[in-house]
Amino acid sequence: MFRLQDSKVLAVDMTGDAVKAKNGSMVAYDGEMAFKKLSGGGEGIRGMVTRRITGEQMTVMEVKGHGTCWFADRASEISLVGLQGDTLYVESSNFLAADAGLRTGTSFTGTRGASQGNGLFTTTVEGHGQVAIMSDGPAVVLRVGAQYPLTVDPGAYVAHQGNLRQSFQSGVTFRTLFGEGGGEAFQIRFEGDGLVYVQPSERNTIAGEV
Amino acid sequence: MAFREINSKMVQATVAPGQRLFSQRGAMLAYQGEVSFTPNLRGGQGGVMSMIGRRVANEDTPLMTVEGSGTVLFGHGGHHVQVVGLAGDTLYVEADRLLAFEGTLEQGTVFLGSQGGVMGMVRGQVSGQGLFTTTLRGHGSVAVMAHGGVFEIPITPQRPVRVDPQAYVAHHGDVRNKLSTAMGWRDMVGRGSGEAFQLELSGSGTVYVQASEEKL
């Protein structure tokens, strides 16, 4: 049972069940808890290999026990996402915790990843349960509809869910080449039906430089 | 209460004649009225012996005395500020987390080794807090700094709380603390969960925990 203690602290009430959380993100707990590191993002040998190759390394631990456990990481803002059989795509650096019953994996993102400076792969979480994701500043959730495609700065993108197609847009003109670009040379465009989580801050990306 | 939270990172203190405040040196942001700030060479209350005690214990954060009549705004480094009210009990807090406190409170230094013996000393080393900590006792309020927001967890005899030493801010009440280790063979082979050391607080009182594992 996930709940937000405040915008920066996640409280999880557990009765013998387990959650996967970012390694070292526990700040306090009561009751009895056991912490165990999971290799390869909790996906076993296959995860160890694919995560090593894809650069989507994620160190997670399994927390199991009875009581309440509080998680926080470097004062990042936390958003809760409920999944009903659909898939959440999130950067491994923005992942905080998930129900242990959810499956995690990696997926290829193509050129979007390269422009974000986060590599060509992203982490996927699917199944039924709750996920906590982190952002630098409170994240806003933007809905994408069939008539309303959304364009996002790669550095501000946090996560997305639903049936979305993403394409990579470049606004590079001759001005960019002369160093007169607006700092918005690359964008990600989402089309379809779903939700996109955007943070009020930009990671350092190649796109921001030009 | 002398302190009023203006926003999450700033407190406003009211000073009146005869009521002294102590604050971390340089933490004043603005003031109104006739207020004087004097650097406190002795680093707080007590005489020269207390000063030497604090120097030896490395708990000698530079403080200043705030006197006069008016209002003063305090804040430091963009850290979140939490006001804790004390009614006769003792607050245990690290000296560098103290933003300001009322002069009615009695300041002291305790040796952590006296609480939990050798493990108390290990605790100070692990959490980077040193072997000593500052105590404030009496009636009054204290403004404490933390990275990220602070939240309170009540401690009851039936419900001890374990805290990550890096996320621990302060505690008050009748609380015993000891460092517990959950080290196993996994930590030895570099497969630890990053939660090898925990600060176990039992008794009755409140512990303040910050939403971050960063020291100030």
Following DSSP, what letter does each residue of A121-173 receive, concatenated?
EEEEEEEEEEEEEEESS--EEEEE-SS--EEE-TTTEEEEEEEEEEEEEE---
Nearest CA in chain A to B164: A27
Cβ within 8 Å, pair A35-B182: yes
Nearest CA in chain B to A22: B193
Q: Which of residues 23-42 of A touch B (CB under 8 A)?
A: 23-31, 33-37, 39
* Rounded Cα gap, residues B43 and B24, in angstroms: 9
pLDDT tens digit at each of 210 positions of chain A: 899 999 999 999 999 999 999 988 999 999 988 888 887 666 666 666 666 666 666 788 889 999 999 999 989 999 999 999 999 999 888 999 999 989 888 777 665 555 555 556 788 899 999 999 999 999 999 999 989 999 988 888 899 998 888 887 776 666 666 666 666 667 888 999 999 999 998 877 655 555
Query: Across all residues in chain B, what is the average pLDDT?
Result: 80
**Residues above pLDDT 90, as percent of chain B:** 35
Q: How much is the pLDDT for B94?
A: 80
Radius of gyration from C-alpha coordinates of chain A: 18
Nearest CA in chain A to B169: A27
The two beta strands, B80-93 and B10-15, are unpaired
Lowest pLDDT segment from A27-36, A141-150, B54-63, B91-100: B54-63
CB neighbours of A48 closer than 8 A, spacing ≥ 6?
A39, A40
User: Given A6, A23, A28, which is nearest B194 (Cβ)?
Assistant: A23
Residues of chain B whose C-beta is under 8 A from some C-beta in A?
A: 147-149, 151, 153, 159-164, 167, 182, 186, 191-195, 207, 209-214
User: Given B151, B193, B207, which is nearest A35 (Cβ)?
Assistant: B193
Cβ within 8 Å, pair B210-A72: yes
User: Given A27, A33, A35, which is nearest B209 (Cβ)?
Assistant: A27
Cβ within 8 Å, pair B194-A75: no
Q: How much is the pLDDT for B53?
A: 64
Q: Does A173 touch chain B (CB under 8 A)?
A: no
Q: How confident is the model at residue B45 (pLDDT cuts 50, 70, 90)?
A: low
pTM: 0.82
Lowest pLDDT segment from A5-9, A102-106, B32-36, B148-152: A102-106
Substitution target in B195, B207, B208 with the highest count of A β-carbons within 10 Å is B195
Using the Cα atoms of residue B142, residue B148, residue B154 and residue B158 in order, give the sign of their dihedral: negative
Lowest pLDDT segment from A68-72, B93-97, B102-106: B93-97
Q: Which residue type does B170 have? A: A
Residues of A in contact with B211 (CB under 8 A): 6, 8-9, 27, 72, 75
Cβ within 8 Å, pair A30-B153: yes
User: Given B159, B191, B212, which is nearest A74 (Cβ)?
Assistant: B212
User: Given A24, A29, A59, which is nearest B213 (Cβ)?
Assistant: A24
CB neighbours of B214 closer than 8 A, spacing ≥ 6?
A74, A75, B147, B166
Q: What is the ipTM of this complex?
A: 0.77
Instruction: Write phi, then psi, for A174 (nearest 5 degrees).
Output: -65, -25
Residues of A in contact with B207 (CB under 8 A): 28
Nearest chain A CA: its distance from B198 CA (Å): 8
Cβ within 8 Å, pair A37-B210: no
Nearest CA in chain B to A59: B193
Cβ within 8 Å, pair A30-B209: no
Lowest pLDDT segment from A55-69, A84-98, B139-153, B169-183: B169-183
Q: Does A13 touch chain B (CB under 8 A)?
A: no
Which pairs count as long-range contacts for A180-185, CB under 8 Å and 24+ apart, including other chains? Answer: A181/A210, A183/A207, A183/A208, A183/A209, A183/A210, A184/A153, A185/A210
